[in-house]
Amino acid sequence: MLIYKILRESEWAELSAKGTSPGAPVDITDGFVHFSTAAQLPGTLAKHFANEIGLTLLACDSLAMEADLKWEPSRGGDLFPHLYRPLASSDILWARPIEDGPDGHEIGPLE
């Protein structure tokens, strides 16, 4: 199953340059890297990234990361994937910009 991480421009640049990242400030504060499933992604964008531009969407294979991944309740009681280690470039299957469209963020096809 693919899971998704949204990074701001500076966060994506740091991961690209260093090969690993502790994630966004909220990830560092919470002690894990927040991910979303395809179904959770629109809500995550709306709640945490409204009106932001310069975002990058990363897709990762949850099975490849399962040793360090926990599914924990969050927004609305849904189980969200949380990575309990830094995110590595090698975790990423693909990355692409999130376009800003007339109806908000356009993420394109997933999975």
Residue 2 is predicted with a pLDDT of 97
Query: How confident is the model at residue 35, as a pLDDT?
Result: 98
Residues sharing a CB contact under 8 Å with residue 48, sequence separation 6 or more, in sequence order: 6, 26
* 2-98 to CATH, choices 3.40.50.300, 3.30.465.10, 3.90.79.10, 3.20.170.20: 3.20.170.20
What's the pLDDT at 100? Answer: 84
Q: What is the pTM of this model?
A: 0.93
**Which pLDDT belongs to residue 106?**
86
DSSP class per residue in 66-88: GGGEEEEE-GGG-EEEEESS-EE
Q: Pairing state of beta strands 99-101 and 104-106?
A: antiparallel
How far is residue 22's CA from residue 87's CA, in Å, rounded to a whole number? 6
Q: What is the mean pLDDT of each run of 10 residues along the chain (111 residues)?
A: 97 96 95 97 93 95 97 92 98 94 80 69
Separation of alpha carbons 57 and 102, rounded Å? 19
Question: How high is the pLDDT of residue 51?
Answer: 87
* Per-residue pLDDT at 103: 73
